[in-house]
Amino acid sequence: MTTADLLKRERAHIVKSLANTLGFQYCGISEATQLEDEARRLELWLNQSMHGKMSYMERHFDKRIDPRKLVPGARSVVSLLFNYACEPIKQTEDAPKISRYAYGEDYHHMIKAKLFELVERISEEVGEVHGRVFVDSAPVMDKAWASKSGLGWIGKNSNLITRHSGSWFFIAEMIIDLELEADGPIKDYCGSCTRCIDACPTEAITPYVVDGSKCISYLTIELRDAIPEGFKGKLDNWAFGCDICQEVCPWNRFAKPHKEPAFSAHPELAEMSKQEWMELTEETFGRLFSKSAVQRAGFDGLSRTIRFLNDEGPSV
């Protein structure tokens, strides 16, 4: 091993150690190169209109598949996982459900702050580092990079799955100009399991491909238009997001509860009845979700979905 290789290994160890001290459970590294196989799969997915009305997925294709075009001078992609695993809220049986990742404060802000701090600490340890940090905030194929760096494999439900802790993770990246020793991918451990495919109420999942236009998360969050009538009775009472394909995944039996107070659910959520959800006001929405990722749907979007779930009035 050359002196340059030893230096890259030493720097990688420093980066991973610092990431751990900031609360990231996993950290993996890839060389910043073009994603050839992922580019072909993304192009096919787009050509089949599986992105629905998420037109932003069509933009910046070249930057999605090559981090060097997104961050000039990039040498390494550092992928990080932050745990949000928790038990579902104990609600009344007929109350609308929201995805666990949206129980507490919006993860974007908290995790991005940690990423900025991580860059600062790396600069203090190894010298000035340039680049950008990302948490669902740019055309970055986060699951592809996390898989490439060996943090897990992309399962049949298209989620990144880790062998030791399942899939309840937020994925973040640093694309930086620092040369680091790269990790390698691991094998796929889904085997013959089809639980996620069998459990999806809208039949959005085929092995390793999710038709976004049929996904409950897309219908309840990304879609701004009326939810198509063909999905009546198929949303399984999800008002924001959906956790079904993760709830049935056998690997999530290894998930460990998060320790981040900011991700704890608002105490009122567990107490809300179906009727209270139906009568949700902007004031109550603001109190419950002022710092939550539910803000992405907004009061109007959440109310639209709740009406759709209860078949009361047009879903507009």
pLDDT of residue 299: 97
| Residue 81 β-bridge partners | 26, 171
User: Are 113 and 241 within one domain?
Assistant: no
Which DSSP string do the residues of 201-254 spell out, in sequence order? TT--EETTEE-GGG-HHIIIII--SPPPGGGTT-STTEEE---HHHHT-GGGGG
Residue 255 CA to chain centroid, in angstroms?
16
Active site residue 106: no
pLDDT band at 138 (very low <50, low <70, confident <90, very high): confident
Whether residue 152 is found in the same domain as residue 231: no
What is the pLDDT confidence band of residue 312, given thresholds at 50, 70 and 90?
very low
The closest of 152, 308, 113, 311 to 216, measured between CA atoms, is 308
SS3 105: coil
Pair (202, 161) in one structural domain: no
Q: Is residue 164 part of a domain?
A: yes
Q: Which of 37, 62, 94, 136 is catalytic?
A: 136
Report which residue type is found at 4: A
Res 90: pLDDT: 87
Least confident of 90-94, 101-105, 110-114, 184-188: 90-94
In a domain, 96, yes or no: no
Contact 140, 65 (CB under 8 A): no
CA-CA-CA-CA torsion sign (271, 224, 232, 312): positive
Domain-terminating residue out of 148, 176, 204 = 176
Could you tell me the residue range of the domain that residue 280 belongs to? 195-255+266-310
Q: Is the pLDDT of residue 72 over 90?
A: yes
**Residue 120 placed within a domain:** yes
Q: Are 36 and 136 within one domain?
A: yes
Quote the pLDDT of residue 316: 45
Which tens digit of pLDDT belongs to each residue from 141-200? 999 999 999 999 999 999 999 999 999 999 999 999 999 999 999 999 999 999 999 999
Q: What is the mean pLDDT of residues 221-249?
A: 97
Mean pLDDT confidence for 121-149: 94
On whether both 119 and 229 belong to a single domain, the answer is: no
Do both 114 and 199 map to the same domain? no
**292 and 168, same domain (yes or no):** no
pLDDT band at 116 (very low <50, low <70, confident <90, very high): very high
Query: Confidence band (pLDDT; 50, 70, 90) for 315?
Result: very low
Q: Please indicate, yes or no, if residue 188 is contained in any of the structural domains.
A: no
203, 302: one domain: yes
CA distance 181 to 15: 11
Contact in structure between 76 and 182 (CB atoms under 8 Å): yes
Residue 282 reports pLDDT greater than 90: yes
pLDDT of residue 313: 44
Tell whether 287 is covered by a domain: yes
**In the predicted model, what is the mean pLDDT of residues 249-271?**
94
The Cα 31–Cα 230 span in angstroms is 44
Residue 19 lies in a domain: yes
Report the domain count for the chain.
2
In-domain check, residue 184: no
pLDDT higher for 150 or 139? 150
Place of tokens 């993860």: 107
In a shared domain, residues 271 and 205 = yes
User: Average model confidence (pLDDT) for the chain?
Assistant: 95
Query: Do residues 33 and 114 both lie within one domain?
Result: yes
- pLDDT band, residue 91 (cuts 50/70/90): confident
Do 299 and 237 belong together in one domain?
Answer: yes
Its sign, for the CA torsion 215, 108, 226, 42, is: negative
Kindly state whether residue 83 falls inside one of the protein's structural domains.
Answer: yes
- Identify whether residues 16 and 46 lie together within a single domain: yes
Q: Which residue among 176, 209, 236 closes a domain? A: 176
Domain end call among 145, 176, 207? 176
- List, for residues 12-53, the tens digit of each pLDDT value: 999 999 999 999 999 999 999 999 999 999 999 999 999 999
Q: What is the pLDDT of residue 311?
A: 81
- In the predicted model, what is the mean pLDDT of residues 112-131? 96
What is the spatial distance between Cα 282 and Cα 313, in angstroms, rounded to a whole number? 19
Which pLDDT does position 1 carry in this prediction?
80
